[in-house]
Amino acid sequence: MAKKRGGSPLGNAVGAAQAQQAAAESNLTSLTHQLTNELEKSGRSAAEYLQKQFGIESVGQSMQWQLASGQSAHFNEVIFSYEQVRDDTYVTFDVNGRDQSLLTEESLQDLNSLEFQQFYPAVGREIDGKLDILDGSRRRAWFLLQEGRVKEFRILVTQDDISIADAKALAKQLQTAKEHNLREIGKQCVAIQQANEGITQAEIATQVGLSQAGVSKAIKAASVDDNLVKLFPVVNALSHPDYTLLDKVMKACGDDVNLTEFVRRIGKKIVNIQAEYSTQDQKDVIISAIKAELKITEAKQEKDKAEVMTLAQFSNKSMFARKRVKGRNFSYEFSRLPKSLQDDLDHAIAQVLEKHQG
């Protein structure tokens, strides 16, 4: 019987699959160079060829940028539909630095001119068949809010292997249209903190180009609960004093249940804020509602404040015995008492409870 043609000469030898893969990658590189040369000879553009062969619609703009590491990356401009942007693009906060959850319709109104003309393409890197948007995440969010009413979105795309460090540096260089707000900067600081155990705020300040006090304020802004922040249509309008107020609300509420109820009450109060009001006017109304509700919460806390009575004095300051009364509830609290005394207290309590139960 004749041998089947087209098999691998390596057969099933150890390492055969890896060798075939390496050979294929080498062939791809060679074919790419050959294709480039042939296109130049024929006078055809790569954009035209890609559009015809693979259905990638390109507007022809192509450029090479030098990265922070000294390496370079090649970018081609392509046009994506609404469905492609929705399904095949994403934003990595640690790279892009823009909090996508805060990009509301109100905060993106300054981009409404995109309906007629996208002057600047977004910039992205291809990873596993999808695009990680380095710059233009606000434009992307605005485009997605149109839900297909605007047909095209332009993106400069690189398929070159860009490191995380180079991607971050490039995103920072490209980001010129809208400065990151205090909360976004705070989240960047927190990400640096989590990635570098033991790093000081002074060291973080050097990395992000802020003062140490600025880093402290930004981190406080980042720590505020998302549900409080989302009460504001345009988060960029919030300043450090506003975040200080929101931090005070969180401390007054104490837990998620009370905070959720607080947010619900504020939401009911501000539901009729008119969209035509200025950003500042909307913020002022919401801040006033929060301050008024916070006063009610704090007054209730003061009224419900627990009364604490000392039951005994000890020479050791870390030891205590006290009774706490709040409304109809009360409790006994003890600290660092010897085991023998704990046993006596348990016995005494059991006797008293048994007597009254009888």
Predicted TM-score (pTM) of the model is 0.48
Output the CA angle 222-225-228, nearest 5 degrees. Answer: 115
Strand ranges across the sheet with 320-326: 307-312, 320-326, 329-335
15 pLDDT higher than 60: no
- pLDDT score at 1: 38
Which residue carries 């619900």 as its tokens?
A: 264
Inter-residue contact 121 to 62 (CB < 8 Å):
no
Q: Per-residue confidence at 101, pLDDT binned at 50, 70, 90?
A: confident
Bridge partners (DSSP) listed for residue 332? 323
Instruction: Please enumerate in sequence order all residues whose Cβ is within 8 A of that of 262, keeping only pairs 6 or more positions apart, or say none.
Output: 249, 253, 293, 297
Within 8 A by CB and 6+ apart from 112, the residues are: 142
Enumerate the domain spans of the chain. Answer: 43-178, 180-223, 225-303, 307-357
Express each pLDDT in 295-342 by its tens digit.
998 888 777 677 888 999 988 888 999 998 877 788 999 999 999 999
Q: Provide the mean pLDDT of the chain.
A: 81
Helices then strands, each counted (H, E), the chain: 14, 9
Encode pLDDT of 34-72 as tens digits.
Answer: 666 666 667 666 556 555 554 555 545 677 888 888 888
User: Among candidates 165, 171, 170, 105, which has minimal Cα distance to 137?
Assistant: 171
User: Left, alpha or beta for 136 (phi > 0: left; psi -120 to 50: alpha)?
Assistant: left
pLDDT at residue 290, rounded to an integer: 95
For residue 348, with 0-12 CB atoms within 10 Å meaning exposed, 13-18 middle and 19 or more buried, which class applies?
Answer: exposed
What is the tens place of the pLDDT at every residue in 105-133?
Answer: 888 887 876 877 787 788 888 888 889 99
Cα dihedral sign, 286-181-98-153: positive
Read off the tokens for 288: 């006033």
